[in-house]
């Protein structure tokens, strides 16, 4: 008999619908039952690709005795953290306060009013790893609930006060001017904390720092040699293999070791979106062809394995297959030998590490052992070998795919495709971005209200700040690649909705809409984590549309949001990578480029192509036939053609230099 998760739309929740635990989704029904029966809530938060979530399910949630204990003493609620990042953020703050660390599955005990009083992450079925068994935890919490409800209420009040303090940004006393020195100080701190032996920052587990690298690439583009060195070294280290899939393309979520060798094998859409953009920009800044190759292989992987027929992008691919972590991606040496010719195996063994006894639980995680340029002479043979391994791997039982489509994550991937389309001249990438944003602005905006999640024809959950801001940025990015004013019009409408729903002049940006209910606090995320914080994306969206529209208040809100965080950006740059990109953009002299002419005219196309021959992170482009449509950016107003020829204007703060009609003339204005 299925439990209350049977009608859910989340693949993660549906994985648990046949557990003997009487699970509820988060909602008024479960919360009301907890209040009426005066029972504590056991809240379990995870996601579909989470390895340890699957382990805890097999060990505890499928166990009849454990389920009986849970059902007798608790109201049990299961949440997909990807659908409800607000709940994840709130209660993760509690778990970190209790245990000093966080992770998934997250296991939190709440009062009927939703206040947390105890929690942790994974609990084993028997005592091990220095942890109590899950059944011991359940018995202890149930006993304390009966014996000392007043003490639990007091603990809940204290933890809730702590959460409120840690999930809301205090109003600053002053707003110092934006300071370019912050950028240099951030680079210096990133340099001092860098792991030159293995690449990246920090120790195991090691996460890709795509936003930090993006910031460094912008500083490299400004002429900072140390920034170029840091970014290139980190990107080369991650692309050696292990965390990067050398056979099928795409990145796993993180490395469990310092050397980027053994990944935590799940592949998340957001990582691949952010890293594809980083490798694209690195190729543009450095000219290293390997960075372009990794970018294209990553985007091609997403098109092949993570794209819905209607244009949406799936959320993740599981770490496990056939109940074993990483099995789909691992190799035996004998299998590789049997699949390749003698010549191919000889070249392959020189290029990649192939230890006979394996490097992960007796099997082989492929990793390149020489630099890409050293492989050039044998690259055709290696390409043939990789193709044979890919074909063989496709015959294996695949890991499960979480096929829900999330607005923010899709928007980040659309940005990667739209930018790659214009810099790499890939029509298939442009088509992917167009189809995706058509999907998001129809299926996830029923009746004009943006929602968070879609699966199998059903859209759910009011959008969060990260969804709204990221979609605005994606629409503005695509507008600069295909110049359809439709994208700009929707972006401009969403800016108004974003400020209305998420911004308070005295408090700044909140992560959830002012209409969100059932929350003990209204969170404000000030740091970037594995994904950019909603407020940092909102800053970039506002700065970009300010350049198109001339609306000074958008810049003012962005600057006001950035200003009080500058010390944190300087001192803790790896926690504020996307904020640093926003600060860099706010301090730059933005080039507002207008191109007027029939868009399919060869001379117009020549002018447009001139822009994208190098990395231009401080440029916005508005292109249109003459006269422009009413819904076009204000930047296009009063920009006539010269002698009826396709014409380019280069402006700053809407003040333009003399227009030109030739690519050489445009280059001179840009430089």
Q: Is 103 exposed, middle or buried (0-12, 13-18, 19+ CB in 10 A)?
A: middle
Under 8 Å CB-to-CB from 589, ≥6 apart: which residues?
618, 652
| Structural domain includes residue 525 | yes
Q: What is the 3-state secondary structure (H, E, C) of 314-357?
A: CCEECCEECCEECHHHCECHHHHHHHCCHHHHHHHHHHECCCCC
Task: Quickly count: other Cβ atoms within 10 Å of residue 126's Cβ.
Answer: 11
Across the chain, mean pLDDT equals 95
Query: Which among 393, 418, 449 is the end of a domain?
Result: 393
* Same domain membership, residue 502 and residue 443: yes
Q: How far is CA 154 from CA 37, 115, 142, 150, 151, in A?
A: 20, 10, 17, 6, 5
Q: 158 pLDDT exceeds 80? A: yes
Quote the number of domains for the chain. Answer: 4
**In this structure, what token pair is assigned to residue 235?**
């990107």
Position 671 scores a pLDDT of 87
* Same domain membership, residue 565 and residue 428: yes
Position 165 scores a pLDDT of 83
* Same domain membership, residue 462 and residue 331: no
| Structural domain includes residue 578 | yes
Position 658 scores a pLDDT of 96
Judge contact between 540 and 581, C-beta under 8 A: yes
What's the pLDDT tens digit per position in 90-149?
999 999 999 998 999 999 999 999 999 999 999 999 998 788 999 999 999 999 999 999
Q: Using the 8-state DSSP alphabet, how is residue 563 labeled?
A: G
* Same domain membership, residue 381 and residue 407: no
Q: For the residues of 360-427, what is the DSSP string, one character each? A: BTTBB--BB-S-GGGGGGGHHHHHHHHHHHHHHHTTSPPPPEE--EEHHHHHHHHHHHHHHHHHHT-H
* Same domain membership, residue 575 and residue 445: yes
Query: Which among 554, 587, 620 is the end of a domain?
Result: 587
Q: For the residues of 40-60, what is the DSSP string, one character each? A: -EEEEEE-TT-HHHHHHIIII
Query: Which among 364, 393, 422 is the end of a domain?
Result: 393
Q: Is 618 exposed, middle or buried (0-12, 13-18, 19+ CB in 10 A)?
A: middle
Q: What does pTM read for this prediction?
A: 0.96
Residues 591, 594, 595, CA angle at the centre, nearest 5°? 135
Position 556 scores a pLDDT of 97
Among left, alpha and beta (phi > 0; psi -120 to 50; other), residue 515 is alpha
**In this structure, what token pair is assigned to residue 409?**
């994550």
Query: Quick one: angle between helices 407-424 and 289-305, nearest 10?
Result: 130
| Structural domain includes residue 321 | no
Query: Quick one: angle between helices 210-221 and 577-587, nearest 10?
Result: 30
* Same domain membership, residue 543 and residue 464: yes
Strand partners, 240: none
Q: 650 pLDDT exceeds 80? A: yes
What CATH number should be reported for the domain holding residue 526? 1.50.10.20
* Same domain membership, residue 109 and residue 84: yes
| Structural domain includes residue 216 | no
* Same domain membership, residue 374 and residue 300: no
Range of the domain at 75: 4-167
Position 172 scores a pLDDT of 60
**Mean per-residue pLDDT for 192-209?**
95
Q: Is 235 exposed, middle or buried (0-12, 13-18, 19+ CB in 10 A)?
A: buried
Q: How far apart are CA 581 and CA 412, in angstroms?
A: 15
* Same domain membership, residue 136 and residue 39: yes
Task: Quickly count: other Cβ atoms within 10 Å of residue 556's Cβ.
Answer: 12
**Mean per-residue pLDDT for 546-568?**
96
| Structural domain includes residue 551 | yes
Q: How far apart are CA 255 and CA 199, in angstroms?
A: 12
Q: 85 pLDDT exceeds 70? A: yes
Position 167 scores a pLDDT of 76
Residues 257, 258, 259, CA angle at the centre, nearest 5°? 95
* Same domain membership, residue 604 and residue 579: no
Q: How far apart are CA 493 and CA 513, in angstroms?
A: 16
Under 8 Å CB-to-CB from 82, ≥6 apart: which residues?
10, 12, 47, 48, 315, 316, 402, 404, 406, 453
* Same domain membership, residue 635 and residue 575: no
What CATH number should be reported for the domain holding residue 111? 3.40.30.10
Q: For the residues of 565-616, what is the DSSP string, one character each? A: GHHHHHH-GGG-HHHHHHHHHHHS--EEEEEES-TTSHHHHHHHHHHTTS--
Q: 563 pLDDT exceeds 90? A: yes
Query: Quick one: angle between helices 181-192 and 210-221, nearest 10?
Result: 120
Q: 168 pLDDT exceeds 80? A: no
| Structural domain includes residue 130 | yes
What's the pLDDT tens digit per position in 461-486?
999 999 999 999 999 999 999 999 99
What's the pLDDT tens digit per position in 293-338?
999 999 999 999 999 999 999 999 999 999 899 999 999 999 999 9
User: What are the φ and ψ backbone dihedral angles of 651, each rounded to 5 degrees?
Assistant: -125, 165
By DSSP bridging, strand 619-624 and strand 591-596 are: parallel
Position 371 scores a pLDDT of 86
Q: 30 pLDDT exceeds 90? A: yes
Helix (H) or strand (E) holding 263: strand 263-264
Q: 568 pLDDT exceeds 80? A: yes
Position 377 scores a pLDDT of 73
Position 191 scores a pLDDT of 98
Q: Is 391 exposed, middle or buried (0-12, 13-18, 19+ CB in 10 A)?
A: exposed
| Structural domain includes residue 148 | yes
* Reported confidence tier of residue 441, pLDDT bands at 50, 70, 90: very high
| Structural domain includes residue 124 | yes
* Reported confidence tier of residue 173, pLDDT bands at 50, 70, 90: low
Strand partners, 317: 267, 401
Q: How far apart are CA 316 and CA 322, in angstroms?
A: 17
Strand partners, 313: 307
**Mean per-residue pLDDT for 374-394?**
91
**Mean per-residue pLDDT for 550-559?**
97
* Same domain membership, residue 539 and residue 418: yes
* Reported confidence tier of residue 171, pLDDT bands at 50, 70, 90: low
Position 170 scores a pLDDT of 62
């Amino acid at each position: 008999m299925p439990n209350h998760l049977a009608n859910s739309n989340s693949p993660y929740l549906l994985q648990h619908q046949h557990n003997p635990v009487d699970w509820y989704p988060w909602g008024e029904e479960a919360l009301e039952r907890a209040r009426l029966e005066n029972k504590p809530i056991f809240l379990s938060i995870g996601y579909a690709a989470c390895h340890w979530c699957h382990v805890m399910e097999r060990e505890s949630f499928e166990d009849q005795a454990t389920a009986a204990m849970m059902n007798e003493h608790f109201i049990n609620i299961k949440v997909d953290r990807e659908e409800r990042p607000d709940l994840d953020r709130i209660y993760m703050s509690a778990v970190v306060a209790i245990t000093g660390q966080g992770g998934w599955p997250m296991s939190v005990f709440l009062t009927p009013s939703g206040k947390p009083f105890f929690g942790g992450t994974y609990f084993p079925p028997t005592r091990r790893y220095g942890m109590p068994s899950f059944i011991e935890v359940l018995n202890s919490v149930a006993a304390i609930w009966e014996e000392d409800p007043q003490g639990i209420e007091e603990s809940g009040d204290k933890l809730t006060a702590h959460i409120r303090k840690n999930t809301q940004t205090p109003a600053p006393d002053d707003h110092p001017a934006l300071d370019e020195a912050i950028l240099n100080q951030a680079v210096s701190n990133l340099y001092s904390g860098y792991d030159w032996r293995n690449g990246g920052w920090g120790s195991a587990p090691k996460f890709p720092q795509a936003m930090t690298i993006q910031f460094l690439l912008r500083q490299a583009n400004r002429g900072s040699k140390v920034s170029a060195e840091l970014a290139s070294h980190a990107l080369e280290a991650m692309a050696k293999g292990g965390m990067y899939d050398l056979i099928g393309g795409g990145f796993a979520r993180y490395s469990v070791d310092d050397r980027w060798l053994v990944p935590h094998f799940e592949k998340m859409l957001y990582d691949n979106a952010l890293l594809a953009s980083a490798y694209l920009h690195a190729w543009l800044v450095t000219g290293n062809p390997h960075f372009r190759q990794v970018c294209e292989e990553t985007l091609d992987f997403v098109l092949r394995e993570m794209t819905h027929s209607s244009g949406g992008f799936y959320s993740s691919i599981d770490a496990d297959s056939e109940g074993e972590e990483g099995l789909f991606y691992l190799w035996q040496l004998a299998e590789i030998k049997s699949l390749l010719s003698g010549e191919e195996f000889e070249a392959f063994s020189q290029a990649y590490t192939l230890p006979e006894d394996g490097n992960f639980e007796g099997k082989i995680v492929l990793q390149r052992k020489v630099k890409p340029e050293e492989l050039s002479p044998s690259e055709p043979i290696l390409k043939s070998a990789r193709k044979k391994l890919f074909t063989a791997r496709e015959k294996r039982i695949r890991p499960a795919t979480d096929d829900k489509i999330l607005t923010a994550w899709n928007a980040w991937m659309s940005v990667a495709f739209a930018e790659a389309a214009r810099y790499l001249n890939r029509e298939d990438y442009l088509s992917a971005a167009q189809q995706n944003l058509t999907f998001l602005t129809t299926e996830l905006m029923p009746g004009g209200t943006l929602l968070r999640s879609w699966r199998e024809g059903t859209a759910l959950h009011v959008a969060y700040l990260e969804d709204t801001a990221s979609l605005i940025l994606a629409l503005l990015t695509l507008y600069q690649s295909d110049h359809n004013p439709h994208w700009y019009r929707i972006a401009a409408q969403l800016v108004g909705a974003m400020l209305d729903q998420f911004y308070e002049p005295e408090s700044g940006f909140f992560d959830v809409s002012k209409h969100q209910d059932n929350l003990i606090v209204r969170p404000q995320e000030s740091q970037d984590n594995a994904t950019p914080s909603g407020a940092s994306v909102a800053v970039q969206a506002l700065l970009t549309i300010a350049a198109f529209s001339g609306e000074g208040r958008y810049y003012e809100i962005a600057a006001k949001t950035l200003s009080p965080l500058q010390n944190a950006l300087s001192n803790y740059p790896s926690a504020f990578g996307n904020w640093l990109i926003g600060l860099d953009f706010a301090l730059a002299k933005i080039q507002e480029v207008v191109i007027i002419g029939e868009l399919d005219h060869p001379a117009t196309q020549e002018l447009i192509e001139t822009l994208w021959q190098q990395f231009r992170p401080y440029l916005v482009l508005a292109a249109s036939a003459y006269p422009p449509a009413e819904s076009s950016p204000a930047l296009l107003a009063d920009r006539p053609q010269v002698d009826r020829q396709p014409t380019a204007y280069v402006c700053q703060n809407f003040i333009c230099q003399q227009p030109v009609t030739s690519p050489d003339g445009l280059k001179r204005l840009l430089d």
